[in-house]
């Protein structure tokens, strides 16, 4: 979902039917409009756009956002059908996050110690992957 929104240039603004997450909580709400007040909240990092993990149940997104969610997830339908019996709940995940208290210290010429704070539920590996450039592991020879 995020890759699609970045490609379309819509990942930094709200769209009608968008499900947003409030900063500091996992509380979400659906916006039926994309007015300036909501845009200001997004710019202040008070709310974040969310994306749908695969799960059973109806999507809380509406309109074009619900259609985009279906379009992005449909190719993964077989995976979703396999996960549904495991009880995966319909939850939303923030499409981006704010890294707080970022700092680093060179330990020697090749080693840097990094420190940062993340909200609950965010994986540090998602942050470290970007500056390190970690990709797929090299194939075994």
pLDDT at 113: 92
Structural domain includes residue 64 = yes
Q: In this structure, are 67 and 119 located in the same domain? A: no
Q: In this structure, are 7 and 52 located in the same domain? A: yes
What is the per-residue pLDDT across 110-121, written as a single tens digit (0 to 9) for each?
898 989 998 877
Q: Which domain holds residue 115?
A: 100-132
* Count of structural domains, the chain: 2
Q: How confident is the model at residue 54 (pLDDT cuts 50, 70, 90)?
A: low
Q: In this structure, are 77 and 119 located in the same domain? A: no
Q: In this structure, are 10 and 49 located in the same domain? A: yes
Mean pLDDT over each residue of the chain, to the nearest integer: 81
CA pair distance 127, 99, nearest whole angstrom: 8
Structural domain includes residue 140 = no
Question: Domain holding 43: CATH number?
Answer: 3.30.2340.10
Asked if the model's pLDDT at residue 38 lies above 90, the reply is no
Question: Could you tell me which residue, 51 or 57, shows the higher pLDDT?
Answer: 51
Please count the CA atoms within 13 angstroms of the CA of 12 that sit on its side-chain side: 4
Tell me the average pLDDT across 116-133. Answer: 79
Q: In this structure, are 59 and 104 located in the same domain? A: no
Q: In this structure, are 76 and 123 located in the same domain? A: no
Asked if the model's pLDDT at residue 126 lies above 70, the reply is yes
Structural domain includes residue 137 = no
Tell me the average pLDDT across 93-106. Answer: 88
Strand partners, 47: 22
pLDDT at 101: 93
Using alpha carbons, list the distances in angstroms from residue 97 to 24, 72, 130, 131. 11, 21, 13, 15
Strand partners, 103: 115
Q: In this structure, are 30 and 57 located in the same domain? A: yes
Structural domain includes residue 58 = yes
Could you tell me what percent of the chain has a pLDDT over 90?
13
Of 2-11, 57-66, 128-137, the range with the lowest mean pLDDT is 128-137
pLDDT at 15: 83
Tell me the average pLDDT across 24-33. Answer: 84
Residue 138 corresponds to which tokens in the numbers above? Answer: 């090299």
């Amino acid at each position: 979902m995020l890759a699609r929104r970045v490609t379309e240039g819509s990942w930094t603004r709200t769209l009608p039917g968008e499900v947003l997450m409030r900063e500091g909580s996992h509380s979400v709400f659906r916006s039926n409009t994309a007015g300036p007040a909501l845009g200001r909240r997004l710019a202040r990092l008070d709310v974040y756009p969310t994306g749908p993990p695969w799960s059973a149940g109806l999507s809380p997104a509406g309109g074009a956002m619900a259609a985009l969610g279906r379009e992005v997830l449909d190719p993964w339908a077989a995976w979703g059908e396999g996960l549904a019996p495991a009880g995966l709940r319909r939850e939303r995940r923030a499409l981006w996050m704010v890294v707080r208290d970022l700092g680093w210290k060179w330990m020697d010429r090749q080693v840097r110690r990094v420190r940062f704070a993340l909200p609950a539920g965010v994986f540090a590996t998602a942050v470290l992957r970007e500056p390190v450039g970690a990709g797929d592991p090299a194939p075994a020879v």
